[in-house]
Amino acid sequence: MKELRVQPIKDGTVIDHIPPGNALKVLHILGMERNLPESVISIAINVKGKRGKKDIVKIENRELDTQEVNKIALIAPNATINIIRNYEVVEKHRVKVPDELVGIVKCGNPNCISNGREPVESRFIVKSREPLRIKCYYCEREPEDISSQII
């Protein structure tokens, strides 16, 4: 059966194949708690997909920037970003964790230069993708719970 639970949208972005239960983290990444959203947003949690349960987030009349997509890749490595125009999927991208994460994860080491007074942007090298392991470029610390350190 086609999914009827959440309505198709006319224009905007559908973030699909989010691991079940992670839709709220995606909303957090998109800043929905900080700035009152201006777009219409629909969320589906634990819907049955072809390959088991998943979450979906639909944002009307908005596209995502690269940093937002990179952050989503950290918590939803198999997510697809679908661009919808006039009800049609006109673009579909699978997210990809880049080789370096600049300014998107905070280093947990309080003495790290990226946490100093002078503004130095955080920078992590991606050591492996499955499982995801990253290392601070400056102090070599490896965060254990990456999703809680997303800026």
Binding-site ranges for Zn ion (CB under 5 A) = 107, 109, 112, 136, 138-139, 141
Of the candidates 4, 10, 2, the one whose C-alpha atom is nearest the C-alpha of residue 89 is: 10
Q: Check binding of 58 to ligand CTP (CB under 6 A).
A: yes
* 13, 22, 82, 114: residue in contact with ligand CTP (rule CB under 6 A): 82
Q: DSSP label at 138? A: T
* Separation of alpha carbons 71 and 55, rounded Å: 16
* 21, 33, 40, 89: residue in contact with ligand CTP (rule CB under 6 A): 89
- For 25-139, where are the E strands, in sequence order? 41-49, 52-60, 80-85, 88-94, 100-102, 123-129, 132-136
Token pair recorded at residue 8? 């198709």
The minimum distance between CB 14 and ligand CTP, in angstroms, equals 4
By CB under 6 A, the residues from 17 to 56 that bind ligand CTP are 56
In the complex, the residues that contact ligand CTP under the rule CB under 6 A are 3, 8-9, 14, 16, 56, 58, 80, 82, 84, 87, 89, 92
